[in-house]
């Protein structure tokens, strides 16, 4: 790397030189790498193009699932959730055993890789919620249901300091990865107290259109809040909130 001297200092490229700004001033370096035009047309980069096409499908699928659960994710996902979910969708695409290389896709892949995906590595669902739960997707009815038997919150939940209550949310999505569309719904519990008293049996059912032919996903989240003078306030630090894909049903 060389420094730019003189009165005229700028960002950009001239022939094989790149000019750019750094914290220490303006610099210049020789451009390297392969041009986009060559990657797009040169037979030598056929595999690169195939990998790029499949990665693009995985990225779009990841974004579509995140968008479908947007209202749940905004208070539960860590900063690394997006690349981690995309990585899982790359596995889904590569598991396609019928399409040619470069044409492998989510629908013909193994969508089951998304089951058990954790959106917050700082607070895994299995280390936040110890109470036994049942998760079920009913494709015919178009429902996703989560059930928890009575449990003592102080024993069944690992809560952060300052939390006095919690909310459990069930979300279901049916996603058309080919058409880039989705249908989703979510249902939340009432505000529950973090104490030593048994909760009532909890059954949350979210519904989309029945008889969907698209992959369906069921997600569970738990958010912690603090009640002050009778008013609930979500904790500003979402580090301890958890969200997980607890069930997946492939397309039919």
User: What does the pLDDT average to over 33-45?
Assistant: 63
Residues 121 and 58 in one domain: yes
Bigger pLDDT: 89 vs 102: 89
pLDDT at 208: 97
Residues 161 and 204 in one domain: yes
- What is the rounded distance in angstroms from the CA atom of residue 105 to the CA atom of residue 126? 31
pLDDT at 227: 82
Number of Cβ within a 10 Å radius of residue 12: 8
Longest dimension (CA), the chain: 75
Residues 233 and 192 in one domain: yes
Residues 8 and 81 in one domain: no
Residues 13 and 95 in one domain: no
User: What does the pLDDT average to over 231-244?
Assistant: 79
pTM of the model: 0.82
User: What does the pLDDT average to over 122-132?
Assistant: 92
pLDDT at 143: 97
Residues 9 and 89 in one domain: no
Residues 136 and 241 in one domain: yes
Q: Is the pLDDT of residue 5 over 60?
A: no
| Alpha carbon separation from 11 to 4, 15, 36, 82, 173 (Å, rounded) | 10, 13, 20, 30, 45
Residues 80 and 161 in one domain: yes
Is-contact 189 243, C-beta < 8 A? no
Is-contact 142 212, C-beta < 8 A? yes
Please, what's the b/e burial string for 21-51 (b: 16 or more CB within 10 A of its CB; e: otherwise)?
eeeeebebeeeeeeeeeeeeeeeeeeeeeee
Number of domains in the chain: 2
Confidence of residue 93 (pLDDT cuts 50, 70, 90): very high
Closest CA to 241 of 127, 152, 99: 127
Residues 200 and 135 in one domain: yes
Number of Cβ within a 10 Å radius of residue 69: 24
Closest CA to 213 of 177, 171, 247, 187: 177
Confidence of residue 36 (pLDDT cuts 50, 70, 90): low
Residues 204 and 134 in one domain: yes
Residues 82 and 184 in one domain: yes
Q: Is the pLDDT of residue 37 over 70?
A: no
User: What does the pLDDT average to over 23-45?
Assistant: 61
- Mind listing the pLDDT tens digit for each residue in 57-82? 999 999 999 999 999 998 899 999 99
- What is the rounded distance in angstroms from the CA atom of residue 160 to the CA atom of residue 108? 41
Q: Is the pLDDT of residue 13 over 60?
A: no
Residues 22 and 72 in one domain: no
- Mind listing the pLDDT tens digit for each residue in 133-145? 999 999 999 999 9
Bigger pLDDT: 205 vs 18: 205
Residue ranges making up the domain that contains 89: 38-249
Bigger pLDDT: 220 vs 20: 220
Confidence of residue 1 (pLDDT cuts 50, 70, 90): very low
Q: Is the pLDDT of residue 45 over 90?
A: no
pLDDT at 49: 79
Q: What is the 3-state secondary structure (H, E, C) of the chain?
A: CEECCCCCCCCEEECCEEEEEECCEEEEEECCCCCHHHHHHCHHHHHHHHHHHHHHHHHHHHHHHHHHCHHHHCCCCCCCHHHHHHHHHHHHHHCCCCCCCCCCCCCCCCHHHHCCCECCCCCCHHHHECCCCEEEEECCCCEEEEEECCCCHHHHECCCCCCCEEEEEEEEEEEECCCCEEEEEEEECCCEECCCCCCCCEEEEEECCCCCCCCEEEEEEEEEEEEECCEEEECCCHHHCEEEEEEEECCC
Q: Is the pLDDT of residue 187 over 60?
A: yes
pLDDT at 175: 97
Q: Is the pLDDT of residue 178 over 90?
A: yes
Average pLDDT of the chain is 86
Confidence of residue 42 (pLDDT cuts 50, 70, 90): low
């Amino acid at each position: 790397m060389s420094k730019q001297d003189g009165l005229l200092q700028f960002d950009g490229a001239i022939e094989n030189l790149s000019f750019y700004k750094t914290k220490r001033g303006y610099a210049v370096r020789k451009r390297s790498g392969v041009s986009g035009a060559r990657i797009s047309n040169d037979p030598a980069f056929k595999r690169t193009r195939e990998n790029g096409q499949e990665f693009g499908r995985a990225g779009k699928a990841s974004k579509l699932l995140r968008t479908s659960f947007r209202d749940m994710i905004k208070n539960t996902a860590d900063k690394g959730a997006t690349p981690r979910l995309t990585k899982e969708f790359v596995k889904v695409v590569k598991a396609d055993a019928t399409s040619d290389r470069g044409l492998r896709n989510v629908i013909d892949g193994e969508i089951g890789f998304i089951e058990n995906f954790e959106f917050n590595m700082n607070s895994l669902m299995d280390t936040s919620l110890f109470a036994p739960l049942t998760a079920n997707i009913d494709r015919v009815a178009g429902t996703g249901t989560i059930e928890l038997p009575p449990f003592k919150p102080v024993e069944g939940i690992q809560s952060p300091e300052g939390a006095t209550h919690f909310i459990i949310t069930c979300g279901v999505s049916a996603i058309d990865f080919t058409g880039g569309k989705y249908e989703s719904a979510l249902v939340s519990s009432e505000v529950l107290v973090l104490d030593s008293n048994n909760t009532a049996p909890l059954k949350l059912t979210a519904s989309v259109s029945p008889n969907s032919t698209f992959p369906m996903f069921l997600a569970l989240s738990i958010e912690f809040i603090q009640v002050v003078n009778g008013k609930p306030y979500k904790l500003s630090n979402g580090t301890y909130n958890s969200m997980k894909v607890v069930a997946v049903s492939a397309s039919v």
